[in-house]
Amino acid sequence: MRRSKEDSEQTRAAILDAAERMFCEKGYAAATVELISRAAGLTRGAFYWHFRDKADVLAALHARTFLPQEKILTGVIASDTPDPLDCLFLAAAEALRSFEVNEGEQRIFRIMSDLTIGQDGREAVARIHAEMRALIRTVMQRAEANGTLNPRITVAEAELYITVTIGGLLAEWLRSDKCFPLALSGERLLRHLMTMLRTDQGAAPRARQCDSPRPPGPDPNSVLDIRCARAPKTKQALPQR
Amino acid sequence: MRRSKEDSEQTRAAILDAAERMFCEKGYAAATVELISRAAGLTRGAFYWHFRDKADVLAALHARTFLPQEKILTGVIASDTPDPLDCLFLAAAEALRSFEVNEGEQRIFRIMSDLTIGQDGREAVARIHAEMRALIRTVMQRAEANGTLNPRITVAEAELYITVTIGGLLAEWLRSDKCFPLALSGERLLRHLMTMLRTDQGAAPRARQCDSPRPPGPDPNSVLDIRCARAPKTKQALPQR
DNA sequence: ATACAGACAAACATGAATGTATGTAACGCC
DNA sequence: GGCGTTACATACATTCATGTTTGTCTGTAT
């Protein structure tokens, strides 16, 4: 039995971990509070001490995973690079690498595509997704203003293509039970995509200077380490009694 | 009250329709038998007359939707065309058009990504998906043997790229609440993909005959101006029963 | 040492979903 | 025009998850 303050935080984290696993395995609706608690080596008493109900853990899970990533991604876009498309490519490749090794991210991705997570949960997911699309769109707008974007491709189109490709990669990788190297294959596909977004492929084969002009400045990868992005506890549902 | 034989089939179909809608809205686990029955304008008695339990309707739903589609797709591949990639492109474009107008397919797609559908349901989905990938792979092997596939791209890679792109398109279209023209945008993206699969884009700009062997009909791009592509949300008005 | 609050476990009450059993009206058949 | 069967509706029993309450042990402050 754990009774000290820090042990309590440990218990809370254990419940979050267990909930993440159970939500991912059984789905949100089918993951019982009893199941989660037992998976954490506890009883429902502990669960209801730390969380108000199942929706509360989901929100906590969401915050624990996405809040740090959001900050990092918005940091990526802040960098004012001369080659926005290449910057986006590097960020996406790094995101794939991170996803490939981080089982927590994988579980959250699965959980958040669950239909049973309820209205507020869905809204939270939609918000995150809209932010990511807005970020990509901003990059594309810069590329357009920059002249690096293929003039025959709309900003909206380019934004869509990137979104579709990355989302499709993650989903297919998980569904296929990780039967291909996500980062490697994804990087190749994305590189092709980026090339297409740059050059005019339709009729006029203009001067190609596609993915060579990377500035020899500080490696953008150094900023992009999303590995092990775990925030300390945030919210606490005060027990009533 | 319906008592004749054909009326019985009609109620069975009504239950299937209702289940499809409820599974899609609430998710599999949260869609109660009571809810489904009431949505069909019936009671649970009718439900348990026609189906053993909830898993049974899911299986029936699965069969009703995928069995016909499988036949069509395998028919597509049966045709021995000199240009497999173009054949695949046409089939994919047709699939996108069908998906865009067929709400049943859309619902099934959502339902089958639900985590709570249970082990056998997931296996069924995996089977379908594996078959589709095998089909695409066959086409790619033909293209490779044919010489139309870019020699710098593996068959497995090409198969993956197509799968990822189509899956990503469908998922993103549904998630974004259909805020872009699926068939049009998808067709453009797929066309780019196919071009990439044909020509050697990496370094050696060999003789490009990429997307030229297209019959001199109307320019496909003329139809495809999606600049500022935002479609009005087509909300459905589902008739009761 | 004692008292109090924090951190849980265990028991309880409630509601909801499930499956089954029973009732019943219409259909098809001779 | 009785009769068995079909196609449901209704009623019931049971299981099961949830949320709450109560009990209990343990750190910690005084």
Q: Which residue is nearest to nucleotide D6 (CA to C1')?
A: B3
Q: What is the overall mean pLDDT for chain A?
A: 81
Q: Does B201 touch chain A (CB under 8 A)?
A: yes
Buried b / exposed e over A181-200, threshold 16 CB at 10 Å, is ebbebbbbbbbbbbbbbbbe
Q: Nearest Cβ partner of A29 from B116, B168, B201?
A: B116
Q: Is B147 helix (H, G, I), strand (E, B) or coil?
A: coil
* A115 closest CB neighbour out of B110, B189, B196: B110
Where does chain A hold its CATH 1.10.357.10 domain(s)? Answer: 54-223
Neighbouring residues of A180: CB distance < 8 A, sequence distance ≥ 6: A173, B156, B160
Rounded to whole angstroms, the Cα distance separating B181 from B186 reads 8
Per-residue pLDDT of chain B (241 residues; tens, 9 = 90+): 556 777 889 999 999 999 999 999 999 999 999 999 999 999 999 999 999 999 999 999 988 887 777 777 777 777 778 889 998 998 899 889 999 999 999 999 999 888 899 888 889 889 889 988 998 999 999 999 989 999 999 999 999 999 999 999 999 999 999 999 999 999 999 999 999 999 764 433 333 333 334 444 443 333 333 323 233 333 333 233 2
Rounded (5°) CA angle A68-A62-B114:
135
Q: What tokens were used for B54?
A: 């909830």
Local structure of B165: helix, strand or coil = helix
A193-226 residue pLDDT tens? 999 999 764 443 343 343 334 444 443 333 333 2
Interchain pair A160, B172: CB under 8 A? yes
pLDDT in the model for residue A8: 86
Q: Give the predicted TM-score (pTM) of the model.
A: 0.81
CA of A1 to C1' of D25 (A): 9
DSSP three-state, residue A144? helix
Which positions on chain D have an atom < 7 Å from some protein CB? 6-11, 16-23, 25-28
Going by pLDDT thresholds of 50, 70 and 90, the confidence category of residue A103 is very high
Smallest Cα distance from A135 to chain B, Å: 16
Task: Return the DSSP state at B215.
Answer: -
List, by residue range, all CATH 1.10.10.60 domains of chain B.
1-51
Does the structural domain B55-199 have CATH classification 3.80.30.20?
no
CA distance to partner chain B, nearest, from residue A116 (Å)? 5
Which residues from chain A sit within 8 angstroms of residue B197, using beta carbons? none
**Per-residue pLDDT at B207:** 39
The CA–C1' separation of B108 and C9, in angstroms, is 43
CB-based contacts of A86: which residues, under 8 Å, 6+ apart?
A194, A211, A213, A214
Residue range B1-51, CATH number: 1.10.10.60
Nearest residue of B to residue A184 by CA position? B157
Whether the CB-CB separation of A67 and A61 falls below 8 Å is answered with no
Residue of A123, A187, A192 for testing the chain B interface, max B β-carbons within 10 Å = A192
Q: Tens digits of per-residue pLDDT, A119-155? A: 888 888 888 899 889 989 999 999 999 899 999 999 9
Q: What is the DSSP letter of A232?
A: P
Among candidates A26, A164, A205 on the partner chain, residue whose Cβ is nearest the Cβ of B115: A26
Tell if A50 CB is < 7 Å from nucleic strand D: no
pLDDT for residue B108:
92
State how far the alpha carbon of B74 is from the alpha carbons of A174, B77, B78, B88, B100, in Å: 26, 5, 6, 12, 21
Are A171 and B168 in contact (CB < 8 Å)?
yes
Q: Hey, is the C-beta of B192 within 8 angstroms of any chain A C-beta?
A: yes
| Domain A54-223 in this protein, CATH class | mainly alpha
Q: How far is the CA of B59 from the C1' of C22 (A)?
A: 29
Q: What pLDDT, on a 0 to 100 scale, did the predictor assign at position A45?
A: 94
Contacts of B154 in chain A (CB under 8 A): none
Q: B30 to each of A172, A173, B86, B111, how far by Cα in Å?
A: 26, 27, 43, 12
* B157 vs A: CB within 8 A: yes
Whether B28 sits inside 8 A of A171 (CB atoms) is no
Is nucleic acid strand D under 7 Å from B34's C-beta?
no
Closest chain B residue to A133, measured at CA: B176
| Cα–Cα distance measured from residue A124 to residue A132, given in angstroms and rounded to the nearest whole number | 13
Farthest-apart Cα atoms in chain A, separation: 74
Total Cβ atoms within 10 A of residue B70: 14
Which strand C bases fall within 7 angstroms of a protein CB? 6-11, 16-23, 25-28
Asked if B32 CB < 7 A from strand C, the reply is yes
